[in-house]
Amino acid sequence: MDGKISTRTIEVVGVFFEFNFWYIMAFCTLRNDFRQFRVDRILKIFKTQNPFFQEYGQINDYRQNPDGNKTRVRLLVDMSIIGHLCNSKKYYGLVEEIEREDGCEMIFETDWIKEGFPRWLITFADYAEVLEPEFLKDSLKDLLEKISAKY
């Protein structure tokens, strides 16, 4: 992004929230491809007279890894934090929640295992235990070490 203002005609597929910002996923007629647009960076928006047939499917069809591989993640999360995860947990691939005596087991099928999922998990990691995969624990440790080294 070079900071220049551009005018785009887009056909919206959906809206999503990620890393404290709202985004629009849309087909951009200028680029003839799908793009994400951060809502707080949009200066002006208006409806055109162009027909829009909504032939693009659902937003999750465009927000996946190119190779399509998903990783199964199981977390045991303290019940006191569950209410704070209501919007984001589905975005990160929640497929099942199992209420247990010691917390809520959350099962995810995610394609954001290398970057997005660990960074999201770190926001409530003091209330969660990684049950699987084992390498996610190492990813969290590495990320925490990088953060600690800066501060």
Kindly list the domain boundaries of the chain, sorted by start residue: 10-61, 71-150
Is this prediction's pTM over 0.85?
no
Contact of 13 with 57, CB cutoff 8 Å: yes
pLDDT tens digits along 73-112: 999 999 999 989 887 888 788 999 999 999 999 999 988 7
pLDDT of residue 67: 53
pLDDT of residue 29: 87
Positions of the chain with pLDDT under 50? 66
Angstrom distances, CA of residue 136 to CA of 13, 88, 112, 119, 123: 31, 18, 11, 11, 15
Q: Which fold has domain 71-150?
A: Alpha-Beta Plaits (3.30.70)
pLDDT of residue 145: 95
Q: Which two tokens stand for residue 105?
A: 């087991």
